[in-house]
Structure formats: C-alpha cells, structure tokens
A and B are shown apart, each in its own frame.
Chain A
Amino acid sequence: MSDDREATRRAFLKGGAVLAAPLAMTMPATAIAADDRIARLQRLEDEVAIRALHQDWLRRVNSRDADRARLSATARAGGCLDGALCGVTSAPDVQGDRVEIAADGKRAVGRFRCVIETESRIAPDSTLAQMALAQGGGVIRAQAVRLVRADYVKAGDRWAIADIALHEA
C-alpha cells in the first residue's frame, strides 16, 4: 500500500518529470519550464521547511522547552498558547494537514490536526480538593483533537512562526 499523504521532494520530482516530458517536446518554452520547475522546487523546499518547523515546535512544546519562542517571529507568537496546554501531538489522521504558501513566497499558512493535552488545577473549594492540591496533585488532564493554525513569515532563507492558535477541529 502506498503512502502518498505527504508531499516530498521525491514526489515533486516524480510529478515534475511527468509534467516535464510534454514541455520538452515544445522546445520554445524550455526557459519558461525551467523557471517554473525552479519556482515549484522552491515552494516544495519551503513546504518541507515549514513542516519541519512545525515538528520542531511540537517537540519543544512537548518538552516544555521555553526556548520554543525562538521559533517565533514575535514574542506574542511565542507565548500565545493557553498556559494549560502541556502537550501537542500530530493527530493519527493527518490527511487534512495543509501548508499553503503565498504567491510571493514570503508568507504561509499551516493547518495541522493535532491532539492537545491540557492540564489545569482543580479549584480549592472543598476539603478534598484542598488536600489533593496540598499533596501535589489536583491536576485535571484532558485530551482533545484541535486544529493548529500557524501563520509563517520568511525572513531571509528562514521561516518563523508569526502567529499560532488552536481552533476547533
């Protein structure tokens, strides 16, 4: 069974070769076709870079690495998630994941289905809850599928997170 869910450089080149064949028979367009291939290759490389950036962000969120802010273009983007969030993993069904790169190649939007884990402390409004908190517990953990929507900007040859937020899946 093949797995064609993810656009890879190899998949692009394979597709590019198919497209390239008829173009090669109409020689006057050679230069145009070459430019197009370069542009499409660049977009694919951008998409791969953005997906890698997303994976890096997931890893840092899950390791509670405060340094994840370094992946962001602004401080706000680095700290915009709910403080209760303690884990984000890719949802088992990632077919809906999309990366759309703007025509200028400087901005992009990523939409990724994820499973988020949240932690929140129970309110200390009963003896039982107060005791649970006093013993270092009283933490409610929950999981839910959410859509992570991230806006990306390209500065030089590096992509960064401009904004990131969770939405209902």
Chain B
Amino acid sequence: MHRYAFTSLSDGQISAALSKVAATGPASVSPLSDALAGQTIRIVTDKDGPALVYRFTGNGRLTLSENGGKAIEAGYGALVQDHLTLFTHLMPGTLRGYGVVIDNATGIATVIEMWFGGYQDKREVMRAIYAGYVEQAGKPPPDARHIATNRFEGKGFYWKQDTGYETLDYYPSVAYSHFVELTGRGDEPGFCGPSDYLQISEDFYIVTRTECEFSGTFTLYLVDLNRQEQIGLRLGFDRTDALEYYLFRGKGEWLGQIAQFEKLGDTSGGALPDPENGGKGARRVYRPLTTMPKMSKAEVAAAVARNSRVFAPRTGAGSGAAGMATHGTPPIDRLAGKRFTIRYDGGPVMDYQVESADRLRWRKDGGAWVDARYNAWEPMPGVFLFGHLLEDAPDHDGHSIVADFDNGLVTCFNGFLNTPFIANEAGARTLFGVIEGAGIPNPGALRHERTRDMLGRAITWNYAPNLSSMHLYSTPTTVSWIIFTDSGAGGMEWSGPGDFVKIRDGLYFLYWLEEACNGTLGTIVLNMRTMHDAGIGYHCGTEGLSMSQVGAHARHAGLFDVQRFFPTKKG
C-alpha cells in the first residue's frame, strides 16, 4: 500500500459517487435491522456538537433535521448488537454523512460525523466525534457518556467480515491501530492508521480507523469483546476509486493482550493533544511520506560524495540520532587483529583484515583492498555485530554483519540506496553465509535461518530518556513501531518491511525498513536474555549518508497468538 499511487479525487467525482448511494443508504451483506422504523428521536450532543432530530420512516429511509434546520431525506442502514444500535446515512447533496451509536439501555449516544475533505486530498475521510444522548420525554439526561479510553489498548483481534474481508487488527496505541489484510495474496505487510477508542462498557467499545496516507477510507465499528463480534461501517474509495459504503457484521478471534505502560489506574484516552488551531475533527496524524525528503539518484550520489559518516555523531533531520545510541553498549575492540573471509551464499566473497578497534580493510570478490571505518559489538560471547560502508559501490551499500565466530556462521543485512521508488530510501537484502579463518569451525551446510520466533511479539525500546518506542512484529515480514507519550500510552505508529533471523537461542538479528518514511534501515541484534540490543542504522538524506549505532534497553511487552495466520510455505 505504501507504493500505491491513490488517485486524487475531486469534489465532483466524490459527489457523483455519493449521490448514487445517499438515497438508498449503505449496502450490507447481513440483513439490516428495522428496529428504528417508525421512531422519531432527538439526539443532543455536548459542547459544539449538533442536535439531530431523526424520523425513521421505514423502508430504509429517514429524515434528519440538523440544529433545527430544514429536514432532509436520505437512505440509511442499521445493525443491532445486543443493546447497541449502529446506523449510518449520508447527507444528499453534500460530501458528509453520519454514523450514530445508540446504547438502548442507557440512552447514551455517540455521533460520528464523516466527510470527505482530508488533509490534502479530499478522498480522505475526516471525522468528528460528539458525545451525547437520546432525549427521552420525562427523563433527565444521562450523566455518563461513551468516553475516550485506553482500555482497548494492547488488544489484538482477527476479524472476518460478512463480506469475506479478513484482517488482523492490532491495537497497541490509544491513537493508532495496525492492520494486516489477510484477504488477497495473503503476504501483505501490515499498515497503520489513526484510530479512536471509546468505551461503552466493559464489554463494548467503539473503534475507528482512517487509512490516512493510503486510500483515506474510514472504518467504524462496535466491538463486543466477550462474543468476539463486531458491527460496523466502511466509507471510502478503494484502489480502483470505487466507492465503498457498507455496513458489516464480523466475527473475530481474540489474539491476546500485551502490556500497557501508563501509570496503574490511568484509563484515560485521548493521549495526544489536539493540534493548535485545528478545525473540526482535527487530530495529530503522522504523514511520513508527505514529509520525508525525496531525492533523485543524482542527488543521492552528490549527498553521499559530500558527506558520508560512519559511526560519527550526526545531526540533521532524518539522519538518525546520537540519542538512539544513548543506551547502547560501547563499541569493542575484540575484532582487532583478526583476518577472515566471509562467503555469502549467492553473494559476494568478502575478505577482512581488522586493523584496530575502528579501522578495517575489506575487499570484495578478490578485488582491491579498501580501508574503512567500522564499529563492533559483542551482543553474546563469540557473536559480533559490525558494520561498514562499501565505498564506491554504485548503490552506496552498507553491510551490517552478525558473525558467530564460535560456529562459523554469518548473516548480513545489506543496505543499499537507489531503490526504484525513492532513491534515498534504503533497500535491504539478507545474505547468509560462512566465515573462514584460523580457528573458526566449518559449519558445513548449516546456516543461520529466518525465524518466526519473533512473530506476534511486542518489545519496548528505551533509547534515551524520553526517547522510547515499541516494536510490534506483526507479520513474518513487518515491523511496526509505536511511539509512547509522556504518560506511557502508545501514540503514533507506523510500519515497514522487516526480516528476522535466529542467530542462537535467545539471540535474533532483525531489521526494519522505514519504507515511505525517512527511508532508514535499522538493524539490531536482540538478546532476549539480557533484554538489550546492539544495532546499526543506515540512512541517507540531504545531509549525506550515515551509518550509526543504535542501542536501547528492552522490555518484553507481550505476544499475540498469530502464528496460525502465516503458515510456513513448503517447497
């Protein structure tokens, strides 16, 4: 999805598509409810929210008066889950619509106004959420409301809609969610979108997701936690620019609950402050593809020639931070004096002469020797992580290498630039091989192997004071990262491709690629016993090319049970 160029839709295109369904209401595979037919209700909302008078006339039709204005007619659809009703309709002649959740037991209602009018592209659905209630004659208004909460944070669900659409939905944040589409090819990575979480009761929650930076589609659903069911609506334009506007029922499977890091007793939601001077529905949305500097191949070449830095203090937007090494362990000098050869399967033969703690000589495939600066760490006795740039390589390669000298095995994450999409965005290939040298055992046909051991795990990383994140290894090829707020809540989230290699029991070499998001390649050796890592970042931006240390203290936040959704391919 990061690579899909969604069409920019005009008001006219959107309006034309909406006009066809505004009169009929949403589609639905499941039978719609007629529970509202014949009713007239007045919904009062707090603060600046609207007052809505609905008259449901039957046959899926309603009239609506907003704030005492002239009534309009529209088609609607409704679904009922236990004591909750969800209905939705569009406003004919506009780019707007509503989704409304009514708790029939309490009279509490939540109104979600939806409109096409996104950040830069109108196809992105915006939303504003109003808390309120259904006015009941002779009864005082209820005091309670459906409230923003962190009580949904840390959960994960497999969902299958009545449309057949299947997803894994991870909720590691109070402001974002991460979803993996299982329908289709089945090997899609996961993606992230801003989300809302409102608590109705201990059993029921309202969840939203907007696919910002992608199609802009908005999804709203009620989750019945104990029954593992959902009812919801979806509004937006798909990849072919076809309008999706439908209600759905879904059945789910609970995948687990990972840890939360707010202070005990803190159940508040809305952890991200609203943007200053934001308009209706404004919220903080991470738009990395929009904001990252995009460079041409020539610009990359010039930047690399101008400034390449290997394990040097760095500054500049996107260059990776010295802060990300604050909790790293110091580089070591135990490779100094070693002479060895690395033979990668289907890849280069690299000869090394390590001169000192930070200088080595390398040659590729028997070519000329090249001096290079490097740094090394020993995350487990006998296992070394070291990295260096391959000067003059046409794609400005960098090697991040884990060498197990006790077993003669090596794995390299080979970063490179000039990818087909954005030249300064790193690509990565994984190379497996052997080490040859004095006293190094011959592993024969053994190699490090890709692993599913990390799949579904969430690991927090504290790089420096006030610089913490959490990784979520959501698919065999996806790393999602969540940024904590000051209160310890999960905040903004993004994701990119990843790879996972088992080095030894409890020791894993993995990378994440900040695809469509600064383009950094992060590589770390994670020691699950010490809960520490040794890592190397590889990044190119307008300030040049850099290779730098990454290091953080880790905590195991939990494990989602998702192995069964990713069967190992045979043959």
Q: Measuring CB to CB, which residues of chain A are less than 8 angstroms from any residue of chain B?
A: 122-132, 134-141
Contact = CB atoms under 8 A, between A and B. Distances in A.
Contacts of B317: 124-125, 130
A129 B322 CA distance: 11
A124 B317 CA distance: 6
Given A123-B315, A125-B316, A135-B491, A140 B321 contact: no
Contacts of B321: 122-123, 125-126, 128-129
B323 A123 contact: yes
A122 B288 contact: no
A19 B481 CA distance: 73
Nearest to B324: A126
A138 B492 CA distance: 12
Given A126-B324, A127-B318, A127-B517, A135 B467 contact: no
B517 to A, nearest CB: 6
From A125, A136, A140, name the one whose CB has the most chain B CB atoms within 10 angstroms.
A125
A135 B493 CA distance: 10
Nearest to B519: A127
A17 B411 CA distance: 86
B313 to A, nearest CB: 10
7 contacts: A123-B321, A125-B316, A127-B517, A127-B520, A135-B175, A136-B272, A136-B273
Contacts of A132: 466-467, 483, 491
A140 B465 contact: yes
Interface string B270-297: 0011000000000010101001000000
B441 to A, nearest CB: 39
Interface in B17-35: none
A135 B483 contact: yes
Interface string B434-464: 0000000000000000000000000000010
Given A125-B316, A127-B517, A135 B463 contact: no
B316 A128 contact: no
Given A123-B321, A134-B286, A136-B272, A128 B314 contact: no
Contacts of A135: 175, 272, 284, 286, 483, 485, 491-492
From A122, A126, A138, A141, name the one whose CB has the most chain B CB atoms within 10 angstroms.
A126
A125 B483 contact: no
Contact of B318 (A130, A134, A138, A141): A130
A134 B316 contact: no
A136 B518 contact: no
A125 B320 CA distance: 5
From A127, A129, A138, name the one whose CB has the most chain B CB atoms within 10 angstroms.
A127
Contacts of B291: 130
B467 A131 contact: no
Given A131-B492, A135-B491, A135-B492, A122 B315 contact: no
B517 A126 contact: no
A131 B272 contact: no
B46 interface: no
B286 A131 contact: yes
Contact of B514 (A123, A127, A129, A139): A127
B315 A129 contact: no
Given A125-B316, A128-B463, A130-B318, A137 B486 contact: yes
A132 B286 CA distance: 10
A122 B466 contact: yes
Contacts of A137: 466, 483, 485-486, 491
Contacts of A141: 466
Contacts of B537: 126
B494 interface: yes
B177 interface: no
